[in-house]
Amino acid sequence: MNSFKYKTAFVLPFALLLVAICYGAVAAYAQDKVAVKDLTSELGNKYYDAVDFLLKNPWMTDTIILEKLQPDIALSAVIPAMIRYSALRDIVEASAMRTLYIRSGRKYAHYSVGRFQMKPSFAELVERTYTRQKLGPYKFVISNTPKARSERARRLESMEWQLRYLVMFNKIMDKRYAHIKWKNDEDKARFYATAFDVGFNRDERTIRRMMTPRKINIRTKKVDSKYRTGDVAVWFMVNDGHRFRGGEGSSEN
């Protein structure tokens, strides 16, 4: 009887300890799991059109892999912009703004162009940072002259160059935020997509703050969008990111 009491006194606390450890592990796992808001109805067909475009252009995934970057994270940053893309608006608006930008300079550098909806101001910032940090082979004239602006505008009209700018953006981000230990790939994708949208030249604290609140139209005080840019990036990572890892997307049509 004494032996039984002794064993019980030893085993019961040990069992409780194991339960506590297991519970803690499960809780930690639950915290690390990505909470994903269902965006199916809000994004609509434009989301699927964007994913389909990337799948039909596997050279993009292949190029990103050759640059030693993770394709799903890189592409998640531009998925929100691709959803906003309109071919007709791109032809009408971008062509008019392009002339103003080349002739008059930076005050007209904030129009969006192409599938990735990149702005000349974004491209110029990428060029300047990429050149100063010597992150690769490309050479740019970063002076604010009509010739430099014309060449930049021409590059932005090329899908190949838009992808190059995306690659350069990711390399800049990887170097700048190499000190961060990301919770998971989705956490990194949310941060990069937000930085791509609001300006990667902002400091880390500002980017993280802007990951949370939705954009507010200053004049009307209304929310411009039903969803956050980072939400869309995470939605892409969770639902379709696997199709662009390790060249998987290159086998689909």
Q: What is the pLDDT of residues 83-135, one digit of tens each?
A: 999 888 888 888 889 999 999 998 999 999 999 999 999 999 999 999 999 99
Contact 167/63 with Cβ under 8 angstroms? yes
Q: In angstroms, what CA-CA distances link 121 with 49, 53, 135, 166?
A: 27, 25, 19, 14
- 206-241 pLDDT tens trace: 999 988 755 444 343 443 445 589 999 999 999 999
Q: What pLDDT digit, counting tens, does each position of 49-86 carry?
A: 999 999 999 999 999 999 999 999 999 999 999 999 98
What is the distance in angstroms between the CA of the first residue and the CA of the last residue of the chain?
A: 72
Give the tens place of pLDDT for each residue, 19-37: 444 434 333 333 344 556 6
Collect all residues with Cβ–Cβ distance below 8 Å to 173 and sequence separation of at least 6: 192, 195, 200
Residue that is written with structure tokens 């990036």 in the block: 233
CA–CA separation, 129 and 123 (whole Å): 10
Query: With 90 as the cut, is the pLDDT of residue 149 above it?
Result: yes
SS3 201: coil
Q: What is the pLDDT of residue 143?
A: 86
CA dist., res. 46 & res. 106, Å (int)? 31
C-alpha distances (whole Å) from 20 to each of 8, 10, 13, 24, 26 are: 18, 16, 10, 6, 10
**What are 154-164's pLDDT values in tens digits?**
999 999 999 99
